[in-house]
């Protein structure tokens, strides 16, 4: 089952159960997806972005919700903070299981060996391959320092 199917099913389930928060978040996901599909028209994917880009979109949405959560907590707005926490949980439910540090380091080592990366100058190449293969499974903000370390930087 694709992520697109998961979103459609989630909308139906949320409507049946009356879960307004989940329905709102899933509709927000679908709206973002539709915008990206429209932008991709005429490109190589024929108007439908690939799963890896959908996962990337979800991660960006989670990051935005986390920023909103931090802002709400600093401002003492508990209701807004609770809504942001719920949004993060719902968005995260669509992502695959995140890789732990050991799995991430093993994946980095495999990619470095595979493409023959020799130093920090090859960091972009390594990151590109990791993003292609592990979109949605890695937090690339935390992965970047690990790649730099593996390349001797």
Indicate the residue among 92, 115, 137 that finishes a domain: 92
* Whether residue 79 is found in the same domain as residue 115: no
How far apart, in whole angstroms, are the C-alpha atoms of residue 76 and residue 56? Answer: 30
Total domain count, the chain: 2
* Owning domain of residue 117: 101-150
Q: Is the pLDDT of residue 46 over 80?
A: no
- In this predicted structure, what is the pLDDT of residue 150? 85
- Residue 137: phi and psi, rounded to 5, are -105, -15
Any idea what the CATH number is for the domain that residue 124 is in?
A: 1.10.10.410
Are 58 and 114 contained in the same domain?
Answer: no
Residue 70's pLDDT band, with cuts at 50, 70 and 90, is very high
80 and 18 in a common domain: yes
5-41 confidence digits (pLDDT tens) = 999 999 999 999 999 999 999 999 999 999 998 888 8
DSSP conformation letters of 26-66: HHHHHHHHHHHHHHTTTSTTTT---HHHHHHHHHHHHHHHH
Higher pLDDT, 86 or 97: 86
Asked whether residue 75 falls in the same domain as residue 107, the answer is: no
Q: Are residues 63 and 123 part of one domain?
A: no
Name 30's Cβ contacts closer than 8 Å, sequence gap at least 6.
7, 11
Give the pLDDT confidence score for residue 45 in this predicted structure: 65
Who wins on pLDDT, 58 or 138? 58
- Looking at the structure, tell me whether residues 85 and 113 fall in a common domain: no
Same domain, 117 and 47: no
Query: What pLDDT is recorded for position 55?
Result: 86
Percent helix, strand, coil in the chain (nearest 5)?
A: 75, 0, 25
Last residue of a domain, one of 92, 113, 134: 92
Q: Please, which pLDDT band fits residue 44 given cuts at 50, 70 and 90? A: confident
- Alpha carbon 12 to its chain centroid, in Å, reads 23
Judge if 46 and 108 occupy the same domain. no
pTM for the full model? 0.75
Same domain, residue pair 133 and 63 = no
Dist. CA 31–CA 34, nearest whole Å: 5
pLDDT, one tens digit per residue, over 105-134 is: 888 888 888 888 888 888 888 888 888 888
Give the pLDDT of residue 9: 95
Q: Identify the CATH number of the domain in which residue 79 sits.
A: 1.10.1510.10
Token pair in block for residue 24? 């709102």
Length of the chain: 153
Which candidate, 153, 99, 109, 100, places its Cα nearest to that of 129?
Answer: 109
The burial class, CB within 10 Å (0-12 / 13-18 / 19+), for 89 is: middle
pLDDT at 25: 95
Distance CA 76, CA 73 (A): 5
């Amino acid at each position: 089952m694709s992520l697109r199917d998961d979103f459609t099913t989630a909308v139906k389930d949320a409507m049946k159960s009356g879960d307004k928060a989940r329905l709102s978040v899933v509709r927000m996901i679908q709206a973002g997806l539709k915008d990206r599909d429209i932008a991709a028209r005429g490109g190589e994917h024929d108007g439908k972005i690939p799963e890896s880009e959908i996962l990337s979109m979800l991660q960006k949405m989670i990051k935005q919700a986390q920023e909103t959560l931090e802002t709400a907590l600093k401002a003492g707005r508990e209701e807004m903070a609770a809504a942001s926490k719920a949004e993060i949980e719902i968005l995260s439910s669509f992502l695959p299981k995140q890789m732990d540090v050991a799995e991430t380091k093993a994946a980095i080592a495999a990619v470095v060996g595979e493409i023959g990366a020799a130093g920090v100058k090859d960091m972009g190449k390594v990151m590109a391959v990791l993003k292609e293969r592990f979109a949605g499974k890695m937090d690339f903000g935390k992965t970047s320092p690990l790649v730099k370390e593996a390349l001797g930087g």
